[in-house]
Chains A and B, each alone.
Chain A
């Protein structure tokens, strides 16, 4: 009887769980983890994926995804409300002749009216969908020259580092929430992700 119980207990314990890979300490609120903090992950592929997951905290922020929709309407606010007034993508993502983006959006924020603005204000091309997409899906899109505007990863890194519309995300005005970290930290993370092999997170994509 005792032998049977021991066998049952042994059967319930199952195989030993594999140890979780080390992860860098969480970033402080509103901050991004630095590239160096990912050095605790020895495997380059796992390290690269982990870094893009961190990058994804910026790319999936409302300041970014609101202008990367699958349809023809930009979104507004933290809950991605449809743009008011109702505008459409138009040629080059710059609105229509009678209702162009630049008709309202200036080269900087207009605080008096709470209208956000930055140079070259426009909607991202329709093949660059980020709204309601997973970080892995966004990574795959960014890495695909067919869907990233024919850019190399180095060109995308330069875009993230220097583009004025990207920079607006951290200076959105009127009390709007900002993505974590800074533009420079995002660019550094992206460079580190590239250096580690530019591996996209393996996850269920949608």
Chain B
């Protein structure tokens, strides 16, 4: 059994130590907000936070999360009122929506470290999150809206 905290709740999961965090979240715990994209850490759709640091859940073994705190899109804000989530809704950012959880989790990590990023810093921070619908312009606008002026 591996003990960890997920979205503020202490959990014990019965999983092989090398099972990817994404498998644990989606298949064992039913937390399906985190998406499976490429499975090779190349697209960013599965981004979650481990002790506040963004990691790709598809390649991160659950043993790495033992005794630590995982945050998924479901736990970013209990009420969905994180500034990024509000900006996402206000600007209608998603098209198909598949990549958006990962986009928001990467953007949240950026804003936690840099509350007022420049456009260049936003682009650089989200360069590893792919959107096949091409909503990059709206993503950047929403991050800018959620950032402190």
Contact = CB atoms under 8 A, between A and B. Distances in A.
A85 B123 CA distance: 12
Contacts of B16: none
B53 A103 contact: yes
A13 B33 CA distance: 82
B83 interface: no
Contact of B112 (A97, A112, A113): A97
Contact of B128 (A85, A102, A112): A85
Contacts of B113: 96-98
A57 interface: no
Given A98-B106, A113-B41, A106 B60 contact: yes
A103 B125 contact: no
Interface string A78-103: 00000011111000000011111011
Interface residues of A, number: 20
B91 interface: no
A114 interface: yes
A115 B54 CA distance: 16
Interface in B84-137: 106-107, 109-110, 112-114, 124-128, 130
Given A98-B107, A98-B109, A113-B41, A87 B60 contact: no
Nearest to B110: A98
A128 interface: no
A96 B106 CA distance: 11
B129 to A, nearest CB: 8
Contact of A97 (B55, B60, B125): B125
Contacts of B54: 97-100, 103
- Interface size range of chain B in the complex: 20 to 34
A149 to B, nearest CB: 25
Contacts of A113: 39-41, 58-59
B61 A99 contact: no
Interface in B51-96: 53-56, 58-61, 64
A96 B112 CA distance: 12
A177 interface: no
A98 to B, nearest CB: 3
Contact of B55 (A87, A88, A103): A103
A160 interface: no
A96 B125 contact: yes
Contacts of A102: 53, 55
A188 interface: no
A154 interface: no
A106 B39 CA distance: 14
A133 to B, nearest CB: 27
7 contacts: A98-B109, A98-B113, A99-B106, A99-B127, A102-B55, A110-B61, A112-B39
Interface of A: 84-88, 96-100, 102-104, 106-107, 110, 112-115
For the complex of A and B, the 4 pairs showing the least CB-CB separation, nearest first, are: A97-B113, A98-B125, A85-B128, A104-B41
